[in-house]
Structure 1
Amino acid sequence: MVEYIQLLLPVIIFELILKGVALRDLLKRERRMVKGENKLVWVLVIIIFSTIGPIFYFIFGKKTK
């Protein structure tokens, strides 16, 4: 059991940091700088879809200037 915890702990920490960075970026960004201009949808994508949600946000959710 301890071996599993040692293996999963870095993955869990990475996941939490990735979600935190994505949510922080989304909340600081103006609505017009988010694709679809719907922040709530992106918050749900980031939270619900484990590691892939934040990655999708960084790739597809941000508008360029």
Structure 2
Amino acid sequence: VKEKFSFKNYSFHPHVTVGYRDLTWENYLKAWEVYCEKEFKTKFIVDKIMLLRHDGKWIPIAEKKFKN
């Protein structure tokens, strides 16, 4: 992936964002106090993976659908 899309070293960080836009900064800090030490476990079905690039907003640049 790094070679194909010319990523700089350490600019690629795979992750899952659970939520962030609905929180004000103050509420984020309050939530962090409650959840920073809690473990989160769940299961979900992933039917595709997308590669996004951030250029002021997130732009999909590649997608791979998984077979059942």
Of structures 1 and 2, the larger Rg is shown by 2
Please indicate the TM-score interval, normalised by the length of the shorter structure. Answer: under 0.3
Greater share of residues in strand: 2
Higher relative CO (Cα under 8 Å, sequence separation at least 6) belongs to: 1
Greater share of residues in helix: 1
